[in-house]
Amino acid sequence: MKPKIKTVVATAICITIFLVLVFVAYLPRTSNLPSVVSSGVVPTTASFAVYLDGTDGLYKAKDTNGSIRFTSNNPQTVLANVIGATSDGDVVVIKKDVTYGTIGIAVDAVLLVRTTAVPVSEGQVVFYNVTDNKCYLTKADSPSTLGNGIDIYLVMWNATANKKILLLEDGYVTDSAWSWTAGDSLWVSASTAGGMIPSYPDKSGDQALCVGTAYNATSIHFASVKVVIGIT
């Protein structure tokens, strides 16, 4: 092969590899979730999609190997079984609007399983402590009660200390107990542990961390900006 042809071929190969890498990098987070299958095998896995099967009207939890882990006509039962079978750090991707307790979780919400060190209630904000691998209620009056400001989650159901809990990392969620104003930025409260407020804390020493935006009075998009601003 002539040198010029070799150069052209090498360049084409490099461009192809680059395009493949770019494509992979921008795949959706749930792109590895396969199509529905009827297998009842329960393999080891760390990711689930909870969805409504249009063919039989049942809610199901499917793992990344394509196996159906749990089936029920009640989405709460499916979620509870997924939690009971998973370990800390496992991911649950909601593929259909569901309700658990008074909390409504919107399609494509990304949730995690963690262990809480303290009693928690649905709708509270917690941070993940990498030292003991447990969650604690946030409070914006000190850096120590925001963890690293990165692993911030919304609690999806009530739990006592040292129990596994389902946590929202990113997604739309509703709660009939809320009364926000549409468009409000939501911040970690400096006065109420685990609370959210529609304005940033402004006292000296407070730590401002935005964790979402109000969609309407009872719905928010929860997603921590992962940047803490110290108030002086």
Give the pLDDT confidence of 126-167 residue by residue, as tens digits.
999 989 999 999 999 988 888 877 899 999 988 999 998 889
pLDDT band at 12 (very low <50, low <70, confident <90, very high): very low
Residues 6+ apart with CB under 8 A from 127: 135, 136, 138, 145, 146, 147, 148, 149, 151, 152, 153
For residues 103 and 106, give the distance between their C-alpha atoms in angstroms, rounded to a whole number: 10
Query: Cα torsion for 31, 124, 127, 216, to the nearest 10°?
Result: 50
Say whether pLDDT at 39 is over 90: no
For residues 168 and 138, give the distance between their C-alpha atoms in angstroms, rounded to a whole number: 15
Give the lowest-confidence range in 21-30, 40-49, 61-70: 21-30
For residues 161 and 115, give the distance between their C-alpha atoms in angstroms, rounded to a whole number: 8
For residues 115 and 87, give the distance between their C-alpha atoms in angstroms, rounded to a whole number: 9
What is the chain's Cα-based Rg? Answer: 21
Contact 196, 187 (CB under 8 A): yes
Q: Is-above-0.85 flag for pTM?
A: no
The tokens of 56 are what?
Answer: 């039989």
Pairing of strands 110-115, 185-188: unpaired
- Look at residue 127 in the predicted model and tell me its pLDDT: 95
- Look at residue 8 in the predicted model and tell me its pLDDT: 43
